[in-house]
Amino acid sequence: MAVVQVTVFGLTLWFGCYLAARSSKRPGLRYAGWGLIAYAGGLAYLLLEPALPVSAIRPLALLFPGLFWLAAIYSFTPNVSAYQVHRLFGASAALTAVTLAAALLLDALTLVVFVPIGGLLFALISVLRHLRELPRRPLIILLVATTFFVLSLGLLLLPTAVLMHTLVFLGASGDLLLLGYALAGLDAYEEGTLLWRDLLRSFTLNGIVALVFGGQVVISLHLLGLGAAALVIGLPVIATAITLVTLFDRLQAGLDRLTFPRQSDLSEQRAELRSVGDAVLRVNSTVDFTTLSSAEFTRYTRQALSHAQNLDKLATSPLTYLPLIDQRLAARGADASLLERAKELRALLRASIERLKPHEGSGFTDEWRYYNVLYFPYVAGLKPYSRRLDADDLDPAARQALDWFANAVPERTLYNWQATGAKLVAQDLRDQLERLTTP
């Protein structure tokens, strides 16, 4: 049983770190990753401290992941902002803290389980309301896994003798892993990227590292006759190895900033090259644009526009394999590397945005709204609602645009106009593609 528990611990920790480190605009994957990491911490406690009174700890081992996961699931509701997700998590955490305090006073700790159960059901219903807008397979996995995880939380209401059975927590681990896979699948669908190649590579690498490092420690301690200490020492070694390998790119970025504090360009270039290398595993180069629906093409375009400031993220877009990109690369005699494709896609998107200008010059009337909501955030890099934005560093046109966003464009209106503008850009790209492919 110990081997199974250690294996489940390593798998849970790895997948949690993988989701937390996965480059995504959605906060949901980070919440999902933190939930798995929190649950892995609970499993480690159960493995390393069997002599302690775990009856009060085991409910918390399911409670904290439940809080993270309700935010993770809710984040995949279409049109829900990151602020709404953070607010839901904060409100749930505060309500849980109050309920937990009351439960401790009443000596009824299991009562606190109703908060994450209610939150998970609310988040799931919010997602299911948009059933037709999401892919079927990950949605089914999400529904099944969430159902079983809610049932696992419901086990907290059972007597302690049942709750303390290790199989309950191993079963909850399976639910969490399925939930993580479903959310990662939904994120890959939204981004138009592939999941399995990057996931398989990370799983294989971490499995080898955990086996090599953890195996050496366990074998050495066993040969020394320290069988009981093998788990106590081997588990932290396995956890450290998995964490370092999975978060290696993030650690490299931090190390570059620490080593070259005055050479930010060098750190950014190294980070971009690493990200583009990872993008090779994620980009879907097999999309058939001739049969792709208008809605799918528009979704890819919207995602590409949102990544226009970051070549490393733009490189994961399937639009990098548009025939238009091949034509542009051939025209200037450039190689067909993913980085060059991303540069051409960015130029193509910017040219399409420029065609949205009603006439030469600039303006902030209604006829300029689609151009402005795409150009300033996606080309000029303006973040109109950021509290950290220093208007003194902006040029006169950007300051004028910032005033226009602040006084005339609510955040929800910006989102709607950007969606419409993305449709116009997508239509322009499709028209160019049709002219290219039509004899």
**Among 85-89, 158-162, 310-314, the least confident range:** 158-162
- Residue 391 confidence class, pLDDT cut points 50, 70, 90: low
Is the CB of residue 386 less than 8 Å from the CB of residue 257? no
| Residues 215-260 pLDDT 10s | 777 677 666 665 556 667 777 888 888 888 888 877 887 788 888 8
Q: What single letter denotes the amino acid at residue 409?
A: V
Distance from C-alpha of 123 to C-alpha of 161, rounded to nearest angstrom:
31
- The arithmetic mean of pLDDT across residues 334-358, rounded, is 89
Say what the pLDDT of residue 7 is.
81
Residue 158 predicted with pLDDT over 60: no
- The arithmetic mean of pLDDT across residues 332-354, rounded, is 89
Distance from C-alpha of 308 to C-alpha of 319, rounded to nearest angstrom:
12
Q: Residue 77: helix, strand or coil by DSSP?
A: coil
- Residue 351 confidence class, pLDDT cut points 50, 70, 90: very high
Percent of the chain, pLDDT > 70?
77
Is the CB of residue 249 less than 8 Å from the CB of residue 274? yes
- Residue 9 confidence class, pLDDT cut points 50, 70, 90: confident
- The arithmetic mean of pLDDT across residues 120-136, rounded, is 69
Distance from C-alpha of 126 to C-alpha of 139, rounded to nearest angstrom:
13
Say what the pLDDT of residue 305 is.
92
Percent of the chain, pLDDT > 90?
10
Say what the pLDDT of residue 142 is.
65
Say what the pLDDT of residue 134 is.
62
Residue 163 predicted with pLDDT over 50: no
Which residues fall within 8 angstroms of residue 182, CB to CB, at 6 or more apart? 138, 139, 141, 142, 145
Say what the pLDDT of residue 370 is.
92
Higher pLDDT, 50 or 181: 181
- The arithmetic mean of pLDDT across residues 146-168, rounded, is 57
| Residues 187-204 pLDDT 10s | 787 778 888 888 888 889
- The arithmetic mean of pLDDT across residues 94-121, rounded, is 73
Higher pLDDT, 199 or 108: 199
Task: Choose among 30, 180, 35: nearest CA to 116.
Answer: 35
Q: Which value, to the nearest 10 degrees, does the dihedral of the CA atoms of residues 152, 157, 159, 165 take?
A: 10
Residue 169 predicted with pLDDT over 80: no
